[in-house]
Amino acid sequence: MKYTYFISATGAGTGLTSVCLGLVRALEQLGVRVAFSKPIAQQFGPDAEPERSTHLVNATLGLNPAKPIKLSHAQQQLALGQTDRLMEDIISIAQSSGEGADILIVEGLVPVADENYIAELNRNMAKALDADVILVSAKNKDSSAQLNERIKMTASLFGGVNHKSVIGCILNKVGAPEPASQQVIAEEEPDEADRHRTAKSRSIDELEAVLPVFQGDSFKLIGAVAWNPLLVAPRTIDVAEHLGADIINAGQIKERRVQSITVCARTMPNMLHTLKAGTLVVTPGDRDDILMASSMAALNGVPLAGVILTGGIKPEDSVMQLCHSAFATGLPVLTSNLNTFSSAQYLNSMNTEVPADDISRMESVMEAVASSINAKWLAERAEVVGERRLSPPAFRHLVVKSARKAAKRIILPEGNEPRTITAAAICHEKGIAHCVLLGNPDEIHRVAQTQNIVLPPSIEIIDPEKARPKYIEPMVELRKHKGLTAPMAEAQLEDPIVLGTMMLARDEVDGLVSGAVNTTANTVRPALQLVKTRPDSSLVSSVFFMLLPDQAVVYGDCAINPDPNAEQLAEIAIQSGDSAKAFGIEPRIAMISYSTGQSGSGSDVEKVREATRIAKELRPDLLIDGPLQYDAASTPSVAASKAPDSKVAGRATVYVFPDLNTGNTTYKAVQRSANVVSIGPMLQGLRKPVNDLSRGALVEDIVYTIALTAIQADQMTNS
């Protein structure tokens, strides 16, 4: 490792682990080789093995830091006067964790009242590791003046704010409400939520400018992470465990999150407005009317966080039977022996730390932190900017950045599908693309409301019923050589994908994304008929961007062509190489087979050998080699023995499979077995970008596919 940053908290409740992992993510997005170490384990409350920070960094970032020393052992070493020996162990753990990295992030210990030895340990660790010190602080209950003093006092432990190694602070939870209401806000009205958002934005600006500790030149405000209530939203299962509640109906108890709590002591009509996505309903167990109202909301598509029936009272079997269909939607129902008031009070005392097994929440927290930190300045200080690699976070960051720059208009024919609506809202919030939802406006707004999605005014909604007539004649003109008549065109335009594709063909939008509820054939067929292939392409193929632990690579073709011949396989290789290059991946193309080089024979391997020859002849500017077995293409040690003279073997970034059976099986095996994120399929060879989704696509998958489509559209415009 070349450089070490030691991250130390100014007190409890600052979110030290979240900031450390977010900092790792921010540096990875720059292409920096970054590692993480937690030299001394510090367990709190019910925490048990594995140590929380090292577990989360492994689960989210794929890093494998060395096992930390237990805090009790460190205490014992200090008591025996063995500080030097302890520091030797700390250095060994840090060096082992940071091997091969440009920057090592070391997480210190959280200060605990009346335990001054923790401050001593933090100071000794930073000194032993010759690390720059970054503080993490949060206002919590402090005034601005108290926060300023707390930062200065903690900095003084390491030499003060003017010391060359004490470089700055990251402020977390900026704009958070008072601690008593941080966890949940019962029955919060929309204007109250707006006030929280306004206060949050104002606080970031004020803290950056007002705190005296940041007004010198040497001690910097490295980041200000805004408070976001969604990032502290626990899962319903976490609530159940906190209350010691019994589970009547589990439903989606591990997936749903508590964004607000409504305590129902009023009559049913007076609480209906609180039944929104993410609401946890807390009500006495004998209020059957509230349970049935919640069930009706669930049946109408509102994903409530759950219902807690208090006082140890369970509904009659007849009531449960009446609500059975609602339970089948995934609605969690719990019972608590506490009364309603005590249950609500107890919920507000929940720890806001991310549980060790809540990986999706930690991912969201890391992204929020990463976007709020000046990682470029830290990388420049460590003199590693420019030593770029396209790690998975770097690839995702590049995709979002490039899509923003492209500023394209993308149509989503499945406009009333909840995941699609959510993805469109995210794309507008992040500036990824201008999304056009195709569907009935009233239905789209209803779905958005039930899912608690705020649709930005900039999102465009087109009603197919009103838009359809203007595309009948243009479609007849496009397909008259196939005998298409006006009535036939009108019937085909009933399909929103066909209608969206016509808009794309007429240059009214820049790209199309579909497939959340439709098959690949339903998405691709209209594109082939109306958009058609590029002049230099004889076929449409696909690639997946596979985000392996160390780098992003390309797999093609895993979705479209069942058994391409040698000429088609060569074209797929060229298309895939060009796609890789367009997205920042240096193309080194491996033509995959069951044999490497000249060692095998048979029609299948001969096809790959011939495809390699054709591709090299057509595009001598691309690095292409084959046939190569997968291990020879991916693993340097295997490549050294099987293909020692190859410039591709052992370092391939584009893998071209001989047929759909091999490609689709391989991508799914790698994706599921290695827990690898795959983005795609992205279609290649069309005049305009049309991209297909998996019907099991997550919202994040849709967002990235929209981004890919926007980038493709920009490249086609400029080519």
Q: Is the pLDDT of residue 106 over 90?
A: yes
Position 189 scores a pLDDT of: 40
Predicted local distance difference test score (pLDDT) of residue 232: 86
**Residue 209's pLDDT band (cuts 50, 70, 90):** low
Domains 394-531 and 541-679 share a fold: yes
Cβ–Cβ < 8 Å for 583, 575: no
For the cut 80, the answer to whether the pLDDT of residue 393 exceeds it is no
Which pLDDT belongs to residue 547? 87
Fold of 394-531: Rossmann fold (3.40.50)
pLDDT of residue 36: 95
- Of the two residues 605 and 696, the one the predictor is more confident about is 605
Instruction: Write out pLDDT tens, residues 633-685.
Output: 999 999 999 999 899 999 999 999 999 999 999 998 998 887 787 888 899 99
- Identify which of 50-59, 119-128, 182-191 has the greatest average pLDDT: 119-128
Distance from C-alpha of 192 to C-alpha of 198, rounded to nearest angstrom: 10
Secondary structure of residue 173 in the 3-state scheme:
strand
Note the pLDDT of residue 397.
79
CATH superfamily ID and name for 541-679: Isocitrate/Isopropylmalate dehydrogenase-like (3.40.50.10750)
Q: In the CATH hierarchy, which top-level class contains the domain 236-347?
A: alpha beta
The answer to whether the CB of 651 falls within 8 A of the CB of 616 is no
pLDDT of residue 38: 94
193 — pLDDT class (breaks 50, 70, 90):
very low
Candidate CATH numbers 3.40.50.300, 3.40.50.11810, 3.40.630.10, 2.10.25.10; the one for domain 3-181+214-230+355-385? 3.40.50.300
Q: What is the pLDDT of residue 633?
A: 94
Q: Which of 98-112, 195-209, 351-365 has the lowest mean pLDDT?
A: 195-209
Lowest-confidence region among 63-72, 88-97, 187-196: 187-196
- Domain boundaries, given as residue ranges, for the chain: 3-181+214-230+355-385, 236-347, 394-531, 541-679
The arrangement of strands across the sheet holding 434-438 comes to 460-462, 434-438, 409-412, 511-514, 690-692
Strand 246-249 relative to strand 333-335, pairing: antiparallel
* pLDDT 10s digits, 251-290: 999 999 998 888 887 777 878 888 888 899 999 988 999 9
Tell which residue, 233, 458, 505, has the closest CA to residue 350.
Answer: 233
The region of weakest confidence among 65-74, 176-185, 518-527, 687-696 is 176-185
Distance in angstroms (rounded) separating the CA atoms of residues 497 and 377: 46
627: left (phi over 0), alpha (psi -120 to 50) or beta: beta
Tell me how far apart the terminal alpha carbons of the chain are, to the nearest angstrom.
41
Q: How much is the mean pLDDT over the chain? A: 87
Q: Residue 51 in contact with residue 79, Cβ under 8 Å?
A: no
Overall average pLDDT of the 552-577 stretch: 93
Residue 49 vs residues 54, 55, 106, 358: alpha-carbon distances, Å: 10, 9, 20, 15
Strands 333-335 and 306-310: parallel
Q: Using alpha carbons, select from 374, 356, 367 the residue that is nearest to residue 134.
A: 374
Name which residue leads in pLDDT, 482 or 570.
Answer: 570
**pLDDT tens string 573-614:** 999 999 998 888 899 999 999 988 777 778 889 999 999 999
CA 186 to chain centre: 28
Q: Are 413 and 438 in contact (CB under 8 A)?
A: yes
Instruction: Return the pLDDT at 116.
Output: 77
DSSP letters for 542-583: EEEEEE-SS-EEEEE-SSS-SS--HHHHHHHHHHHHHHHHHT
Query: Residues of the chain with pLDDT > 70: what percent?
Result: 93
Interval 289-302: pLDDT, tens: 999 999 999 998 88
Q: Which residues pair with 364 in a beta bridge?
A: none
- Per-residue model confidence (pLDDT) at position 186: 41
Q: Residue 520 — pLDDT band, cuts 50, 70, 90?
A: confident
Question: How far is 441 from 232, CA to CA, in rounded Å?
Answer: 32
Q: How confident is the model at residue 514 (pLDDT cuts 50, 70, 90)?
A: very high
